[in-house]
Amino acid sequence: MAKLYEVPFLGAGVGPIMLQVIYIAEYARGEDGTCAFCHGDPCAEMSGPETHIGAFRQRLGKAFETCPCCNGRPT
């Protein structure tokens, strides 16, 4: 199993959010290789409020175009 690092993400506009990151290639990627912030759900359509991207959507109070970390790039 690869080592996970905690990396601060500042792009959500609410202060640092610590992401669990295995490596950074174009953007921070989590243990499964997807974006460490949205985990493959860049518009938070299927993510609950307990996830980083779901909580971000709730704080905005509306839908948004794409994840502020990966900008919806494919993983």
- String of DSSP letters for 48-71: -TTSHHHHHHHHHTS--SS-TTTT
Domain ranges (residues) in the chain: 5-60
Model confidence at 75: pLDDT above 70: no
What is the predicted pLDDT for the residue at 25? 82
Q: Which two tokens stand for residue 25?
A: 């290639």
CB atoms under 10 Å from CB of 20, counted, come to: 13
The secondary structure of residue 7, as a DSSP letter, is: E
**pLDDT above 70: residue 1:** no
pLDDT of residue 63: 76
Written as six digits, the tokens of 59 are 């704080």
Q: Model confidence over 24-71: pLDDT tens digits?
A: 888 899 988 899 999 999 999 899 999 999 998 888 887 788 999 999
Q: pTM above 0.85?
A: no
